[in-house]
Amino acid sequence: MSQWTWQPSPQQIEATNLSRFMSRLGFEDLQSFLDWSVAEPESFWDECTKECGIRWFQPYTHVLDDSRGPQWSQWFVNGTTNIAYNCLDGHQGLAIVAETEDGSATEVTFDELRDETSRLASYLLSLGLESGDRVALVMPMTPGVVAILYACFRLGLVVVPIFSGFGEQAIWTRLADSGARLVITVESIARRGKTVAVHSKVAEAIKRGTNVQNVVLYSWGALGTIRDIPDAELPSEAVAFILYTSGTTGKPKGVVHTHAGCLAQMAKEIFFAFDHKPEDRFWWLSDIGWMMGPWKIIGNHTLGGTIFLYDGAPDYPSPDRLWQMLERHRITTFGISPTAIRLLMKDSKPERFALKALRILGSTGEPWDDTSWQWFFEEVGGSRCPIINISGGTEIVGSFLTCLPVQPLKPCSLGQPAPGIATDIVDENGVSVRGQMGYLVCKKPCPSMTRGVWNNSQRYLDTYWSRFPGWWNHGDWASTDEDGVWYVHGRADESMNVAGRKVGPAEIEEALIEHPAVTEAAVIGVPDSVKGEGIVAFVVLQRQVDQRDLTAHVVKTMGPTFRPNAIEIVAELPKTQSGKIVRRLIRQRYLGEPLGDSSTVANPAALDLIRPPSGS
Distance (Å) of CA 39 to CA 423, 441, 479, 539: 12, 16, 22, 51
Q: Where are the alpha helices (DSSP H) in 198-347?
A: 199-207, 259-268, 292-302, 321-328, 338-344
User: What CA–CA distances, in Å, run from 523 to 149, 245, 576, 614?
Assistant: 35, 17, 16, 18
pLDDT at 342: 82
Q: Are strands 566-569 and 518-528 parallel, antiparallel or unpaired?
A: unpaired
Give the C-alpha separation, 90 to 207, whole Å: 43
Classify 302 as helix, strand or coil.
helix
In this structure, what DSSP letter does residue 432 have?
B
Q: Containing H/E element for 532? A: strand 532-541
Average pLDDT value over all residues in the chain: 93
User: Which region holds residue 146: left if phi is over 0, alpha if psi is between -120 and 50, else beta?
Assistant: alpha
Q: At what angle do helices 168-178 and 505-513 cross, to 10 degrees?
A: 120
**pLDDT score recorded for residue 532:** 86
Element of type H or E holding 472:
strand 472-480
How far apart, in whole angstroms, are the C-alpha atoms of residue 35 and residue 25? 13
> Could you give the CA distance from residue 1 to residue 11 in angstroms, rounded to a whole number?
28
Q: Cα dihedral sign for 490, 396, 189, 343?
A: negative
Walk along the chain (616 residues) in steps of 10 and give the mean pLDDT of each run: 87 98 97 98 98 98 97 98 97 98 97 98 97 97 98 98 89 95 97 95 96 97 94 98 74 93 98 98 94 97 98 95 98 92 89 97 86 95 97 94 97 96 95 90 97 95 94 91 89 77 80 88 90 92 92 92 93 73 87 75 85 74
Closest CA relative to residue 256, chosen from 41, 46, 466, 456: 456
pLDDT on residue 584: 81
Q: What is the pLDDT of residue 56?
A: 98
Are 91 and 301 in contact, with CB atoms under 8 Å apart?
Answer: yes
C-alpha dihedral sign at 388, 390, 396, 400: negative
Please confirm whether the linkage preceding 317 is cis (ω < 30° from 0).
yes
CA distance 373 to 78: 45
CB 139 within 8 Å of CB 185: yes
Instruction: Give, for 586, the enclosing helix (H) or strand (E).
Output: helix 583-590
Q: How far is CA 402 from CA 34, 112, 261, 412, in A?
A: 12, 34, 18, 11
DSSP 310-379: EES-TTSSSTTHHHHHHHHTT-SEEEE-HHHHHHHTTT--GGGS--TT--EEEE-SS---HHHHHHIIII
Output the CA angle 243-49-360, nearest 5 degrees.
Answer: 70
Q: Helix 168-178 crosses helix 547-558 at what angle (to 10 degrees)?
A: 40
Number of H helices, E strands in the chain: 18, 30
Distance separating alpha carbons of residues 104 and 106, to the nearest angstrom: 7
β-pairing, 188-191 vs 194-197, is: antiparallel
Strands 80-81, 234-235: pairing kind: antiparallel
pLDDT on residue 226: 93
The whole-angstrom separation of Cα 45 and Cα 23 is: 16
Residue 585 three-state SS: helix
State the Cα–Cα distance between residues 114 and 230, nearest whole angstrom: 12
Secondary structure (3-state) at 114: helix
DSSP, collapsed to helix, strand or coil, labels residue 484 as coil
Distance CA 520, CA 502 (A): 22
Distance CA 448, CA 420 (A): 11
Neighbours of 172 (CB within 10 A): 21
CB 398, CB 273: distance < 8 Å? no
In SS3 terms, 235-285 reads as ECCCEEEEEEECCCCCCCEEEEEEHHHHHHHHHHHHHHHCCCCCCCEEEEC
For residues 187 and 198, give the distance between their C-alpha atoms in angstroms, rounded to a whole number: 6
With a CB cutoff of 8 Å and minimum separation 6, the contacts of 23 are none
Q: In angstroms, rounded to a whole number, what is the distance separating the alpha carbons of residues 548 and 554?
A: 10
